[in-house]
Amino acid sequence: MRTAGVKGRRPLVLLTVLRLASPLLFVLLATMPARAERIDRVVVVVGERVVTAGDLALEEALGERVGCPQPVLCDPGRPLLERLVDMAVVRGLAGDAATYRPTPAEVEIRLSEVRDAFSPPSTWRDFLDRFGLTEDALAGLLFSRMVVERYVHRNVVLPTQAKGGDDEACRLAWMDAIRAWRARTSVREVAPLEAL
């Protein structure tokens, strides 16, 4: 008899737990962001960093509107994917060294320059929405880009930094440096699922 009584209470206990937990579950669901998160395809893994299809599209969109303070990183004669791999290699080398970190004010200035490249202002919002970004997220990406620029500036002697340097000599100096850095970094392309 006793066993039957205990078995008969299990559904009641379960119902009671569900009844108590349902308001909490409702609050959790109600406070979750309404927008769906974008899933992006990984194109290349560079050390511990990934380059995604979204990174390529974002870089292309930015390149159409924003200049490049370190021209060797934006060489139009090289494929965009190769340039992004170079930036990921350099970002990995720079790590978190304070020497290469821009200040929050410097990042804000760069973000303002990017924002000002979009006119009218509605195109700025459209741009952010298109890539699923907030200004803070874009500022984080710009921070990383600025770290890369500073690393290159401090560690590669580009002929343009000396008087009378030319673009070809600058490109060759950069290619020598990045070739050596890439040799020390794991770079693995990821095939699209359709190709598997």
Reported as a single tens digit per residue, the pLDDT across 106-123 is: 999 999 999 999 989 899
Q: Decide if 132 contacts 74 (C-beta within 8 A).
A: no
Q: Is residue 93 part of a domain?
A: yes
Cα gap 74→155, rounded to integer Å:
17
CB atoms within 10 A of CB 49: 17
Asked if residue 167 and residue 86 are part of one domain, the reply reads yes
Q: What is the pLDDT of residue 121?
A: 87
Q: Which domain does 19 fall in, by range?
A: 1-32
Task: Tell which residue, 145, 175, 174, 181, has the closest CA to residue 157.
Answer: 174
Residues 65 and 12 in one domain: no
The answer to whether 175 and 159 have CB atoms below 8 angstroms apart is no
Question: Looking at the structure, do residues 23 and 109 belong to the same domain, yes or no?
Answer: no
pLDDT for 22: 62
Which pLDDT band, with edges at 50, 70 and 90, does 150 fall under?
very high
For the stretch 84-110, pLDDT in tens is 999 999 999 999 999 999 999 999 999
For residue 117 the two structure tokens come to 């490249």
- pLDDT value, residue 72: 85
Question: Does 28 share its domain with 68?
Answer: no
Indicate the pLDDT class of residue 29, thresholds 50, 70 and 90.
Answer: low
Residue 150 resides in a domain: yes
- Same-domain pairing of 113 and 57: yes
User: Measuring CA to CA, which residue among 61, 65, 59, 66 is closest to residue 80?
Assistant: 59
b/e 1-27 (16+ beta carbons within 10 angstroms → b): eeeeeeeeeeeeeeeeeeeeeeeeeee
pLDDT at residue 76, as a whole number: 84
Which single residue is written with the structure tokens 């020390």? 184
Q: Is residue 125 part of a domain?
A: yes
Q: Closest by alpha carbon to 72, among 181, 162, 149? A: 149
Q: Are 186 and 47 in contact (CB under 8 A)?
A: yes
**Are 25 and 101 within one domain?**
no
Q: Indicate if 79 and 9 belong to the same structural domain.
A: no
Does residue 37 sit within a domain?
Answer: no
Task: Look up residue 125 and give its two tokens.
Answer: 């919002």
H-type helices in 32-79, by residue range? 53-65
- pTM exceeding 0.85: no
How many domains is the chain partitioned into structurally?
A: 2
Specify whether 121 is located in the same domain as 184: yes
Q: Is the pLDDT of residue 179 over 70?
A: yes
